[in-house]
Amino acid sequence: MTKPQAGTTLDAARMSAMGAAGRASAVSRTGTADQPTVPVHVAVIMDGNGRWAAARGLPRVAGHRAGAQSVRRIIESAMKSGVGWLTLFAFSSENWRRPADEVLDLTGLMRHYIRQELAELSRQGVRVRIIGDRTRFDAATRAELDRVEHATVGNTALNLNVALSYGARDELVTAARAAALAVQRGELAAGDITESVLEGFLSTAGMPDPDLVIRTSGECRLSNFLLWQSAYAELVFMDVLWPDFSATHFDDAIAEFARRDRRFGVRAG
Ligand code: FPP
């Protein structure tokens, strides 16, 4: 398979996301406090492992293994770029519906990766948090997830969120239920539920929203990922399969982000 060219893809992404007027003004600019050129928080939908494996006549698990190597690369790239937060969509709440052997491969790989990478992540100063419904994992996996979170709690070089058994609608339902319970217990009045109160019930409570969401594999959708948090995120869809995702692709996505004009629904003057 030919490796897709990021430049071509980004041009396509820019065309679809910005329109002709946006393309005309797509020049690089110097960051300001409001619009830093380096995103504070990058979220990534790592897509295309299966297609990468199929193109090589390999089992899907080989694609997921190769995808885990890209995870290493993107963590390094994020740290080099000065990104403070990185959220990786590793296993969706819908992924449980994949064939049992693939679910077993994926969860096993996740456990293996975490166990194997823990020392290196700690050495690099990465703080790991897991977002999503971890109650669906077995006890051994849950223990591994707790362990990596506890072991890295004091690290500050990069905040890495791994979304596991995560679904945004599920997260919003859980938050709504928690808010309703607080009202029922008399701890909160219904009229006091504001955006920031509801945010406090999300799995990302206290974290900055993603400024940039990258999705690989050429698919242009969010697939139930951080729907609330990505309300104003810049979306960059790249025509590269996740196992082929390199430092250059990451830099290209950051450069594309720097060219975007973020208005957050507000117009000056
Ligand atoms: C999507 O590709 C990818 C996944 C469902 C899993 C992502 C997992 C990894 C990158 C491996 C390990 C991750 C960590 C954090 C250690 P797909 O299977 O949907 O590919 P396809 O769309 O081509 O079939």
Per-residue pLDDT tens over the stretch 202-232: 999 999 999 999 999 999 999 999 999 999 9
Q: How many domains does the chain have?
A: 1
- The answer as to whether 178 is a domain residue is no
Q: How many other CB atoms are there within 10 angstroms of residue 64's CB atom?
A: 24
Distance 185 CA to ligand 1 centre (A): 41
The three-point CA angle 194-210-143 to 5° equals 90
- The answer as to whether 199 is a domain residue is no
Tell me the pLDDT of the chain averaged across its residues.
Answer: 88
Low-confidence ranges of the chain (pLDDT < 50): 1-30
- The answer as to whether 9 is a domain residue is yes
- The answer as to whether 56 is a domain residue is yes
pLDDT given for residue 265 in this prediction: 78
- The answer as to whether 124 is a domain residue is yes
**Rounded distance between C-alpha atoms, residue 60 and residue 162, angstroms:** 21
Distance 106 CA to ligand 1 centre (A): 8
Q: Which two tokens stand for residue 182?
A: 């607080």
pLDDT given for residue 262 in this prediction: 82
- The answer as to whether 26 is a domain residue is yes
Within 6 A (CB) of ligand 1 lie 46-51, 64, 67-68, 71, 88, 90, 95, 106, 109-110, 113, 162, 217, 242
Boundaries of domain holding 138: 4-167+207-259
pLDDT given for residue 13 in this prediction: 36
- The answer as to whether 76 is a domain residue is yes
The per-residue pLDDT for range 1-48, each reduced to its tens digit, is 333 333 334 433 333 333 222 222 222 334 666 677 899 999 999 999
Residue type for position 15: M
CATH number where 26 lies:
3.40.1180.10
- The answer as to whether 154 is a domain residue is yes
Closest ligand 1 atom to residue 113 Cα is 16
DSSP H or E segment with residue 114: helix 100-124
Distance 164 CA to ligand 1 centre (A): 11
pLDDT given for residue 9 in this prediction: 42
Closest ligand 1 atom to residue 64 Cα is 11
